[in-house]
Amino acid sequence: MPVNRLPSFTPHLHPNLGSPDKIRPDTFLKDGQPKPMNEIPLTYPDSFLTRFHHHRLITNLSRLAPLSAYQRPQTEYETLTMTGKVPQHGISHLYSLLQRLRSTTQHFRIGWETDLCMQFSDDEWDQICSLTHSCSRASRFQESAYKLLTRWHRTPAKLMQMFPETEASCWRCNLKGATTIHIWWDCPVIVPFWEHIHNIVSDLVTDPIPFTPETYLLHHTLLAPEIYKKSIQIRLLNAAKALIPAHWRDPLPPTITEWINAVEQIRTLEELMFSSEGHLPSHTLRWFYWSYYAIPTRHIVSPVSPPSTLKEVSNVGGT
């Protein structure tokens, strides 16, 4: 930060050496403390007016930040700006600098780790975020998954933090101060809903993902992301998670019929999209046993010979 841009800086503090347009705090500081006046190359270091303006500048700097903070090593971006030169491929260079920054831990990551009593590695969390951002081609279901990941919903526990005088409780089982994990997973009223879905998923796929909250709610899985995104499992879970906000503050949980209808909305949308892209056979194969299991009388648009076993389509690929 050039100190000559500060209101407290005056021409009396211009050093005799260096460019007057690039006067930095370390000109006046040493080891996090003000430099003695005789070590600063000033024109009149012993004059009362120079000492007065120097004291005012140091006071102003100390109010903005600890003096030691002004002498930290410069970042690559700061070094670049201090040169006064425009680098080649400037936009690409600045973008690469931004890409290398490590952002602070998101508050919702801390919330999930606290609720689940587990720690995610950076790679695991990056995969969770990536899958959530690209988990569905149906915008409504992808938005619902993103809101869950970011803990967007106002649970009883969050309401009690915001309004301490409020005794908010779970609208299903009346548990006081119910957390996110309770509302979405642990509530005794919602547990049968998830168990029923898990049984159906286990019947449809070869290797069902573990029946755990981090897997069902956050898509935290050991499967390769490119395989998991193409499987029917992620679609079935997205449909289930989208129903819980639809029953917010409802004492009754979602029904399996509602879930089947939500899954059918996803399947129908994908059928239109894959058909227009020329990938209808892979789409039909992925959903073959879902249609056979959940909608026995549904007409298959493009007849496909069924696989030799029920489990053969668990993680079928596709675009």
Would you call 45 helix, strand, or coil by DSSP? coil
Contact between 186 and 159 (Cβ < 8 Å): no
Question: Packing angle between helix 191-204 and helix 256-277, nearest 10 degrees?
Answer: 40
Task: Report the C-alpha gap between 22 and 121 in whole angstroms.
Answer: 42
pLDDT at residue number 56 = 83
pLDDT at residue number 1 = 60
**pLDDT tens, position by position, for the chain (319 residues)?**
666 667 777 766 766 645 556 677 777 888 878 888 878 877 777 888 888 888 888 888 888 888 887 777 777 777 787 777 788 888 888 888 877 776 666 789 999 999 999 999 999 999 999 999 888 888 899 999 999 999 999 999 989 888 888 888 999 999 998 999 999 999 999 999 999 999 999 988 888 999 999 999 999 999 898 899 989 999 999 999 999 999 999 999 999 999 999 999 999 999 999 999 888 888 888 898 888 776 653 333 333 333 443 343 344 444 4
Task: Report the C-alpha gap between 60 and 6 in whole angstroms.
Answer: 9
Identify the H or E element spanning 135: none
pLDDT at residue number 134 = 86
Task: Report the C-alpha gap between 67 and 30 in whole angstroms.
Answer: 9
Task: Report the C-alpha gap between 6 and 280 in whole angstroms.
Answer: 65
pLDDT at residue number 294 = 62
pLDDT at residue number 7 = 73
Kindly report the pTM of this predicted structure: 0.62
| Residue tagged 């012993």 (tokens) | 46
Q: Give the CA dihedral 156, 260, 139, 226, nearest 10 degrees.
A: 100
Q: Give the CA dihedral 110, 116, 121, 123, nearest 10 degrees.
A: -90
pLDDT at residue number 313 = 37
DSSP 5-72: GSTT--GGG-BSSS-TT---GGGTEETTEEPPGGGS-BSSTTSHHHHHHHHHHHHHHHHHS-GGGGGS
Sign of CA dihedral 120, 123, 128, 129: positive
